[in-house]
Amino acid sequence: MTQLITSQQDADQWLAYVESEATSLSHLDEFSINNYADSELLNPEVQDYLLNKYVDLGSEETLLDSINTLSLSFAQNKIAGQEALLFGRWARVKATIRKIFCTVIGTVLGDGDLKWKDIIKAVLLALIPAFGTGLPLITLPIVVSLLAALMKYGYQSVCPA
């Protein structure tokens, strides 16, 4: 069962973890920061969420049509279709999180002297409605990698206009 962040109390429990992970990750290069989130696609819980519990954030027909036109056997087509579905859904989840992340960061950066935990809490709470019933914990690596990139490279690099 996918655990969810559904309230401010839930978000508060994850603040120290997210900040610690992002701070550690911010010392790495850009590839490693991006790979941190993308490697979660190998996590069976992430795959289960994307295949069985995912709330569609956009059309997948074009993606699947492009795969089904390949000359593959039925078994190969099924595997290729499932992998493309995973990658496509993961990309949409990442894009949704980045959009909300950048909107929140752009808003709170002007509020003066904020601490990372305040920023993290604002981001987590803003993300809850985007996923309907709550923010799945399996999406935290995306938030962590965006926050690490923000710490290392700044707002303009992470959220280009």
Top pLDDT among 25 and 109 is at 25
**Percent of the chain beyond pLDDT 90?**
50
Q: Which of 2-6, 77-81, 148-152, 155-159 has the lowest mean pLDDT?
A: 77-81
**pLDDT at position 12, please?**
93
Looking at residues 72-88, what average pLDDT do you find?
63
Tokens matching residue 16: 């120290």
Question: 9 pLDDT band (50/70/90 cuts)?
Answer: very high
Is the pTM for the entire model greater than 0.85? no
- Residue 67 to residue 61: CA distance in whole angstroms: 10
Domain ranges (residues) in the chain: 4-158
Q: Which residues pair with 5 in a beta bridge?
A: 135
pLDDT digits (tens, 9 = 90+) for 102-155: 999 998 877 667 789 999 999 999 999 988 888 999 999 999 999 999 999 999
Looking at residues 70-90, what average pLDDT do you find?
64
Say if residue 68's pLDDT is above 50: no
**pLDDT at position 83, please?**
78
| Cβ-contact 49, 56 below 8 angstroms | no
